[in-house]
Amino acid sequence: MNSRNHKYALLLVAAVAITAIGAMSQAFAQNVNDGMDGYVAGTSGIYTGNPKECWYDSGDGAMLPCKIDTGDTAWMLSATSMVLLMTPGVGFFYAGLSRSKNAVNVLGMTLIIMGLISVQWVLWGYSLAFGPIDSDANMFMGSLQYAGFNDVSHYAPLGSPGPCADTWSGAYQMNAMVEGDVCGQGWPNTIPHQLFAMFQATFAIITPALIIGGLIDRIKFSALIIFILLWATFVYDPVAHWVWGGGYIGGGA
């Protein structure tokens, strides 16, 4: 790759990265819209009325958010960071195996995939993989309910409210130690929905990055972008939905 192509590649990487940061910042922004019930007494949250979130009636008419488990959240933040670091690690590994003239090319492909899938995941990938199942057709691919990270908030995802189980021992119940706490039952209803979406995004990023080992010196950057978008949309997202998103293989699990 000559110096002119290097410049174009770096500009493309920068553009994709900036777009990804902007898209994710917009998706994570929490806007207070008219018609919300306002701050709930005793909490720092705002009742959004979102049916995709876990809320419960406190008994006196106030809607309270299901408890977020701090231990689960801390661990998932660590796990998300570690999995994300695997992608540049794969890039350096492939660069070391390739010829010296292709090393920068391989690293550029890895960075492009990170930015490209980040944007795709926010705009439609997460929704196709983990969108709600509204009909039998959604057993093969999720709905677009979460497109653009719509309804993906910092509250716990929808779950049946119940007692908060102690995560380190099944012999005790957290609600016996902290009176009144209510948690969503089942995974991932003890962590913020946004965190779950980002954890899954790291796997969506590293999976196509593994493919580039067979594409070194065989594909142009423009063709790579088209291929990665199509592969993520029509291969990774549907299969992730089948297995982890409640599709027909996972049986709704």
* pLDDT tens track for 127-185: 999 888 766 667 788 888 889 988 888 888 876 677 776 554 444 444 343 445 677 76
| 41: its two tokens | 């007494």
pLDDT at 126: 93
Contact (CB, 8 A) for 24 and 125: no
User: What is the span of the domain harbouring residue 199?
Assistant: 3-31+68-156+191-243
Residue 249 lies in a domain: no
pLDDT at residue 117 is higher than 70: yes
Of 227 and 13, the one with more pLDDT: 227
* pLDDT tens track for 231-252: 999 999 999 988 888 787 865 4
CA atoms within 13 A on the CB side of 56: 16
Token look-up 């065989």 returns: 218
pLDDT at residue 113 is higher than 80: yes
pLDDT at residue 29 is higher than 60: no
Task: Give the residue-averaged pLDDT of 60-76.
Answer: 82
Query: How far apart, in whole angstroms, are the C-alpha atoms of residue 33 and residue 35?
Result: 6
Residue 179 lies in a domain: no
Helix axes 3-28, 221-231, angle to 10 degrees: 30
Q: How many domains does the chain have?
A: 1
Strand ranges (DSSP E) for 50-188? Answer: 55-57, 63-65, 161-162, 183-184
pLDDT at 28: 44
Q: What are phi and psi of 214, to 5 degrees?
A: -95, 0
Of 42 and 192, the one with more pLDDT: 192
Contact (CB, 8 A) for 57 and 174: no
Residue 43 lies in a domain: no
Contact (CB, 8 A) for 67 and 183: yes
pLDDT at residue 39 is higher than 80: no
Residue 170 lies in a domain: no
Q: For residue 182, which of 72, 70, 58, 61 has the smallest C-alpha distance? A: 58
pLDDT at 234: 94
Report the CATH number at residue 203: 1.10.3430.10
Residue 163 lies in a domain: no
Strand ranges (DSSP E) for 173-236? Answer: 183-184
Residue 167 lies in a domain: no
Residue 224 lies in a domain: yes
First-to-last CA distance in the chain?
47
Residue 229 lies in a domain: yes
For the chain, the average pLDDT equals: 76
Contact (CB, 8 A) for 197 and 152: yes
